[in-house]
């Protein structure tokens, strides 16, 4: 029989609060609205970690938006990048002649985002920009990676919450937390 007591979940300490995220997303939304006006964009969400960032930021945007999802896997259950990027779910629409923005949860080594950029460039978009909620400059391993719309620069530490998991846990946290060492 299920216990009547609520289960006790470990809640990582707050690193970036829900309010700070909300305010940052509002600012990023303003920037994107200013840059694109009423031009249609194709907004690509990388799965799965970017889902909350993507949906919250989309609510701020005023132009027509085509939503696309790109499934990627690079981490398994480790806290270190495997360096290997695999497409697990492909786009539905062509990108030919489209203004594309790719939405990424976090740029760590940068391998995933640079792989995705090359992958998308082959599909000949009219323009291609990047939005990322978090960026760890110290961990970056690739050159010439531009993040056009950036939320927060953070130190080289493993974070969870707001879509980001550790072994599928913590994705639903409304804030970014630091995992205990
Ligand atoms: P990169 O290829 O830039 O090293 O890593 C990109 C992907 O690794 C992100 O989309 C994310 O899924 C995962 N990742 C990188 N750093 C972190 C982190 O601090 N926490 C979590 N949960 N995932 C991370």
Number of domains in the chain: 1
Question: Would residue 171 count as lying in a domain?
Answer: no
Query: What is the percent of the chain where pLDDT is above 70?
Result: 90
Residues tagged active-site: 108
pTM of the model as a whole: 0.92
Q: What is the CATH number of the domain that holds 135?
A: 3.40.50.2020
Q: For residue 164, give the ligand 1 atom closest to its CA.
A: 22
Query: Could you tell me which of 30, 75, 67, 35 has the C-alpha nearest to residue 51?
Result: 67
**How far is it, in rounded angstroms, from Cα 146 to Cα 15?**
25
> pLDDT class for 1, splitting at 50, 70, 90?
low
Name the residue range of residue 149's domain. 39-156
Atom 15, ligand 1: residue with shortest CA distance: 108
Ligand 1 mean position to 8 CA, how many Å?
27
User: What residues line ligand 1, using a CB cutoff of 6 Å?
Assistant: 49, 74-75, 81, 104-113, 158-160, 164-166
Query: Is 131 a domain residue?
Result: yes
Number of H helices, E strands in the chain: 3, 9
Q: What pLDDT, on the 0 to 100 scale, is given for residue 10?
A: 86
Per-residue pLDDT tens digits for 102-157: 999 999 999 999 999 999 999 999 999 999 999 999 999 999 999 999 999 999 99
Which residues have a Cβ under 8 Å from the Cβ of 103 and sit 6 or more positions away? Answer: 43, 44, 45, 46, 50, 53, 54, 57, 131, 132
Query: Does 105 map to a domain?
Result: yes
- pLDDT tens digits along 62-86: 999 999 999 988 755 455 555 678 8
């Amino acid at each position: 029989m299920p216990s009547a007591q609520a289960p006790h979940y470990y809640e990582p300490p707050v690193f970036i609060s829900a309010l700070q995220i909300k305010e940052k997303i509002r600012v990023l939304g303003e920037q994107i609205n200013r840059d694109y006006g009423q031009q249609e964009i194709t907004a690509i969400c990388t799965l799965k970690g970017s889902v909350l960032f993507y949906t919250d930021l989309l609510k701020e945007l005023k132009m027509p938006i085509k939503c696309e999802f790109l499934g990627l896997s690079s981490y398994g259950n480790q806290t270190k990048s495997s360096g290997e990027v695999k497409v697990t779910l492909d786009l539905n629409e062509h990108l030919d002649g489209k203004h594309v923005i790719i939405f990424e949860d976090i740029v760590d080594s940068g391998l995933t985002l640079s792989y995705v950029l090359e992958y998308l460039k082959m599909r000949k978009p009219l323009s291609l920009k990047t939005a990322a909620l978090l960026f760890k400059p110290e961990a970056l391993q690739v050159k010439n990676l531009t993040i056009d719309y950036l939320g927060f620069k953070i130190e080289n530490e493993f974070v969870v919450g707001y879509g980001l998991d550790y072994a599928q846990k913590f994705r639903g946290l409304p804030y970014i937390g630091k995992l205990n060492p």
